[in-house]
């Protein structure tokens, strides 16, 4: 009896649900069901759950994004608009460094910066959704973009990976499907801004429910772990 009980407890422990902190190198974790400070339907802060203190804030009341109680899969998130966004004074991962970025969002119109490190120069994995396609940038003048892969008004898991080595070369997947990227002519992966600023949900109205950033190009098995976690949480098929 005792042996069976112990075996059962071990089985439960082995089946513990995955969370992003289970993978080393987590630098930013924003999720709509934790860490949001909102009042009157607008969000003033979204606290980083990775333990690294990369919190996103908006001290100007008129620039605060909206709180959406049931944004994607019944889970809460934030919805930006023109001039309404959250901002962080530092980026989770240093410029030119390897990274893997996951974003759960539901873009609905053109020119949406879902996650934009270094907004004025030296973009590093700048996620932009547009009606022309999902896009990631490694520099203000160097763009990797997909054509006709945008998922308007569809709950989506965006994923981009940069290895920190290959100039202007990244991979992009949407809902677990790898997208072909065109590689525009550019000048490397950008330079550090004197006053870097990082934004979440900039420009137009796109609910954003979760942002996960690692400081490495994740292996295929680890990417699958994160994809599966997000898919199950938000009921998004991959």
The pLDDT tens digits of the residues spanning 48-75 come to 999 999 999 999 999 999 999 999 999 9
Residue 35 clears pLDDT 70, i.e. is over it: yes
Half-sphere exposure of 47 (CA within 13 A, CB side): 8
Half-sphere exposure of 209 (CA within 13 A, CB side): 24
Give the residue with greater pLDDT, 200 vs 38: 38
Q: Which of 118, 81, 69, 111 is nearest to 97 (CA)?
A: 118
Beta strands in the chain (DSSP E): 26-31, 36-39, 42-46, 56-57, 66-72, 75-79, 86-88, 99-105, 112-116, 126-130, 133-139, 142-145, 156-162, 170-174, 177-179, 182-183, 198-202, 207-214
Contact (CB, 8 A) for 234 and 209? yes
Let me know how long the chain is.
238
**Which residues contact residue 113 at a Cβ distance below 8 angstroms, ignoring those fewer than 6 apart?**
119, 126, 127, 128, 199, 201, 202, 203
Q: How many helices (H) and strands (E) does the chain have?
A: 2, 18
Contact (CB, 8 A) for 169 and 147? no
> Which structure tokens are listed for 224?
């699958």
Q: Could you give the CA distance from residue 49 to residue 28 in angstroms, rounded to a whole number?
A: 7
pLDDT reported for residue 71: 92
Rounded average pLDDT over 15-35: 93
Contact (CB, 8 A) for 132 and 148? yes
* pTM as predicted: 0.82
The domains found in the chain, sorted by start residue, are 22-234 (2.60.120.200)
Give the residue with greater pLDDT, 194 vs 31: 31
Rounded average pLDDT over 156-169: 75
């Amino acid at each position: 009896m005792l042996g069976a009980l112990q075996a059962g407890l071990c089985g439960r422990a082995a089946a513990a649900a995955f969370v992003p902190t289970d993978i080393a190198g987590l630098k930013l974790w924003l999720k709509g069901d934790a860490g949001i400070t909102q009042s009157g339907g607008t969000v003033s802060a979204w606290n980083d759950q990775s333990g690294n203190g990369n919190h996103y804030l908006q001290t100007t009341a008129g620039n605060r994004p909206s709180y959406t109680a049931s944004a994607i899969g019944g889970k809460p998130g934030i919805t930006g608009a023109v001039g309404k966004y959250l901002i962080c004074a530092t980026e989770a991962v240093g410029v030119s460094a390897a990274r893997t970025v996951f974003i759960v969002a539901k873009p609905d119109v053109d020119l949406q910066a879902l996650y934009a490190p270094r907004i004025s120069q030296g973009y590093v994995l700048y996620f932009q959704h547009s009606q022309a396609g999902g896009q990631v940038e490694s520099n203000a003048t160097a763009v990797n973009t997909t054509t006709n892969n945008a998922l308007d008004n569809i709950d989506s898991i965006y994923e981009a990976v940069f290895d920190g080595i290959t100039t202007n070369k990244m991979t992009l997947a949407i809902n677990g499907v790898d997208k072909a990227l065109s590689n525009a002519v550019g000048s490397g992966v950008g330079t550090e801004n004197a006053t870097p600023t990082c934004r979440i949900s900039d420009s137009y109205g796109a609910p954003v429910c979760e942002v996960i950033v690692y400081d490495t190009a994740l292996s295929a098995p680890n990417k699958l772990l994160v994809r599966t976690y997000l898919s199950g949480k938000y009921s998004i098929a991959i």
